[in-house]
Amino acid sequence: MDKMEGSFALEDMQNVQINIGAIVKEVDEWDQPMGPFPYPSIATLRDWDFKIMNRYKVFYSPICDRCTLCTYGPCDLTGDKRGACGIDQAAQQGRIVLIAVLMGCTAHAAHGRHLYHWCLDKFGDLPFKMGDEILVDAPLTRTIAGIKPKTLKDFGPVMSYVEEQVSQLLACTHTGQEGSFVDFESKALHAGMLDSLGKEVSDLIQIVAYDMPRGDEDAPLVECGMGTLDKKKAILITYGHNLAGSAEAMFYAEDNNLWDKVDIGGVCCTAIDNTRICEGIGHPDKEFNDNYRMVGTKAKIAGAIGWWRKMVRGDCMDCIMVDEQCVWTDAIVDAEKYKVPLIATNEKIMLGLPDRTNDPVDEIVDDLVNFRMPGVVVLDPVKAGEVGIKTAIAVKPKRAEIREADPFLSEEDFKKYAESCTYCHSCQFVCPPHIKIGDVVRAAAEGNYEPLSTTYEICVGCRRCEQVCPQDIPILSLYAYANREYIRNQKFKMRAGRGPVKDTEIRRVGAPLVLGTIPGVIAIIGCGNYPNGTKECYDIAREFVDRGFIVAATGCMAMDMSLYTDEEGKTIWEQFPGGFDGRNICNIGSCVANAHLHGAGIKVATIFAGRNERANYDDIADYILNKVGACGVAWGAYSQKAASIATGFNRLGVPAVVQSHSVMYRRAFLGRADKREDWEIIDARDGSKVYCEPAPEHMLYVAESVEECMLMMAKLCFRPSDNNSGRMIKLTHYCDISMKYFGCMPPDWHVYVRHASDLPLKWKEDMMKELESKYGWEIDWKRKAILSGPIRKSDVSFDPTNIERKIRVKK
């Protein structure tokens, strides 16, 4: 049901006006009735959450054993102790998890709210059109809110809903409110769902307003890497997630024919969104369309978040515009030190700088170019864009005047610093990826720069080493010096973010995905805190795309996996097509575009399986959990947004694997394969209970190594609905990855065998022998059939569900 608000005057009755707060009308464009849960509140989907948590046990690994949130504290909660307010350790961990998920959720939603206002101001209330190939055009909005947006303004109530729920959820974290860990986690799952909705709104608004690609598998290849920034020009770096100011800088450069004088390089998700601008199906505003067609390809991807401080030390910028999210908060310190003027363009990050929004552009530029102030706040995106471009161009020669000729350390200084290392190992005590920095610096002092090169991409640029060094060695500058040739030559290609998955693509892959013959969707998402360098994202992507999985990437992972090439010098984007299909790899877009991966799952349920998505979240999530073999990986997750993204995936029935640093998130959802009762599923045909194999076994899993990550991802693509051919294919990959990286079969392969035709052809004979000899299964060798042993028999008509109302005929 859609609500409409308005007012009208009665004829012949002047000064009489009747205000209608909300009239409700049944809109005729839906071909399905309103589902059971429009705009679900905190408790609405609690039953579904409990179903998830009954199977996937909430697992906490506290990072801090204390609570310090109220004045009774600090309270020690170790073991079975409780705090003064009565909270126990599990509930306290759940509370912190909820806060983290809310942080992530609000970051995305507030981004969307800013874009909502800005785009309405700039473009007006544009029609919401995703093109002929995307008719299920806002799947999360439909599934959660139960509405079909027709214009940008229709997203307003959706944002208001998210904001109200966030407010209610945050209230629950106050002392003396929620006290149960399972309810904290149900609330976190709710926040994760809201996060997915906020992301969808954010990205759909910018897709429409800035005419970004709508599911374009042939989205253009754009330049990526520090070396692509042309140092003969002024370089403007736009850093963060919200393209508003950055887009205006691009429009200003275009309007004034300045691209030969300035390069615009994006960092973090702003980078991806810059390159999507005006690459879509055509903007409804003809003048805008004519002026800026394909302007996105003129911007460059400077790099992912993990490269930020390496870019600073690598002298890759003349001026910085920051917007919101993932901006290192000492950016202004670096900017001042290296004489790079900084313009803060969003209220969320103002860094103590003077607000110059209402000052004339030329005055602001003059102050910045003459270093009277290290940075300014300019909250008007149009003005900020102009200031950014003008400042970059004008300051470039000034910067050259005031600095030494070579921006990198001199050879003399490099040697001096390297030789001053006392090998105290203070740096190694604080290095997240445990680089043996002392050894690296000592080798450099002896003239061997090789360790500085080989560990350059492993370094996450946190700069903790420099802060603890008693000799004040600028370790990141040593890295920059030793890798200056690499920095200059870091030139690669990345496919611009393509946006949502098309309905036509879902029609093509729906059946093979549900039956398992496309072994799964691998969603590679997230940030840049990698345990062993950026290459592992490339390795994960390559492993699965080679195996015929659908591989989709977003955000910093998409950028970082662009930095590697095959023997022919091709990046992964040049090696494989960009469709949502097996043996394809698609860059969906920036952080907020992750929502389209949720959307793809929903679309499989609604387009392929004909499920009603309208306000029907748990039904859709149940379908995905049981039938859509998909698994997310956040191999470099560092942020609270990653926590909310993963939690949102989990509520929708999609498991995720994260890397070992992600234990900092404190919470996981882990299944117990040894508890048969945890894996009881309803057969929707008749309501009978069936004990299933643990598929998927876990919902949120930390892997210790990339090898374990890949094995677990293959395993987490198993679904109860797999047909024999699909299960055989999935089992083949699971076992093959295990043989490749572990040197042996996984110990639980037999758990996933229901029928002889589930067995991989490659090992079928040996496996049947092992099933008989090791596990005591009964085998009919003449027919090569399994007579007894499996957890359940293979049944092509099995219709697994966890929701009682889906039972068609009760037994």
Partner 1 sequence: MAVDTTKNPVPFEMAQIPGPEMAKAYNTAVIGAILKKAKRPLLVVGAELFEDPVIFDKAIEIGKTGVPIAATAHSIKGFVERGYTDNVTMIGLHPLTNYLRFKDWQGLDGKGQYDVVIFMGIFYKFASAMFSALKNFNRDIKRVSIDRYYHVNADMTFGNLAFNVDQYHEAVDEVIAKLKG
Q: By CB under 8 A, name the binding residues for partner 1.
A: 57, 59-66, 76-80, 89-90, 425, 428-430, 432, 434, 438, 468, 531, 660-661, 663-664, 666, 668, 670-672, 674, 697-698, 701-705, 707-708, 711-712, 741-744, 746-747
CA-closest candidate to residue 214, choices 223, 204, 201, 202: 204
Residue closer to partner 1 (CB basis): 198 or 746 = 746
Edge to edge, the sheet with strand 375-377 lists 375-377, 342-344, 319-322, 234-239, 262-267, 300-303, 221-224, 492-495
Residue closer to partner 1 (CB basis): 249 or 706 = 706
> Is 241 known as a binding-site position?
yes
> Is 434 known as a binding-site position?
no
Which two tokens mark 321?
A: 């515009």
Residue closer to partner 1 (CB basis): 66 or 122 = 66
CA-closest candidate to residue 211, choices 322, 136, 122: 122
Minimum Å gap between C-beta 723 and partner 1 is 27
Minimum Å gap between C-beta 479 and partner 1 is 21
> Is 108 known as a binding-site position?
yes
Minimum Å gap between C-beta 77 and partner 1 is 8
Residue closer to partner 1 (CB basis): 211 or 697 = 697
Residue 370: how many other CB atoms lie within 10 Å = 12
Minimum Å gap between C-beta 760 and partner 1 is 18
> What CA–CA distance (Å, rounded) separates 111 from 325?
9
Which two tokens mark 714?
A: 């293959």
> Is 75 known as a binding-site position?
yes
The residues that bridge with 689 in the sheet, in sequence order, are 682
> What CA–CA distance (Å, rounded) separates 804 from 792?
21
- The answer to whether the beta carbons of residues 227 and 258 sit under 8 Å apart is no
- The answer to whether the beta carbons of residues 129 and 151 sit under 8 Å apart is no
Minimum Å gap between C-beta 696 and partner 1 is 13
> What CA–CA distance (Å, rounded) separates 269 from 326?
9
Residue closer to partner 1 (CB basis): 408 or 679 = 679
The residues that bridge with 647 in the sheet, in sequence order, are none
Minimum Å gap between C-beta 767 and partner 1 is 17
Residue closer to partner 1 (CB basis): 43 or 424 = 424
Residue closer to partner 1 (CB basis): 41 or 467 = 467
Residues 6+ apart with CB under 8 A from 416: none
Burial string for 288-327 (b: 16+ CB within 10 Å, else e) reads beeebbebbbbbbbbbbbbbbbbbbbbbbbbbbbbbbbbb
Residue closer to partner 1 (CB basis): 187 or 661 = 661
DSSP one-letter code for 254: H
Residue closer to partner 1 (CB basis): 357 or 428 = 428
> What CA–CA distance (Å, rounded) separates 283 from 250?
16
Residue closer to partner 1 (CB basis): 473 or 703 = 703
Minimum Å gap between C-beta 770 and partner 1 is 15
> Is 70 known as a binding-site position?
yes
Minimum Å gap between C-beta 635 and partner 1 is 14
Minimum Å gap between C-beta 462 and partner 1 is 12
Q: For 680-715, what is the HEC assignment? A: EEEECCCCEEEECCCCCCEEEEECCCHHHHHHHHHH
> Is 717 known as a binding-site position?
no
> Is 465 known as a binding-site position?
yes
> What CA–CA distance (Å, rounded) separates 96 from 677?
30
Minimum Å gap between C-beta 488 and partner 1 is 32
* Greatest CA separation for the chain: 95
> What CA–CA distance (Å, rounded) separates 354 from 350?
8
In this structure, the chain runs to a length of 811
User: Over the Cα atoms of the chain, what is R_g?
Assistant: 27
Annotated binding site: 67, 70, 75, 85, 108, 241, 269, 326, 421, 424, 427, 431, 459, 462, 465, 469, 527, 556, 591
Annotated binding site for [Ni-4Fe-4S] cluster: 241, 269, 326, 527, 556, 591
Annotated binding site for [4Fe-4S] cluster: 67, 70, 75, 85, 421, 424, 427, 431, 459, 462, 465, 469
Annotated binding site for CO: 108
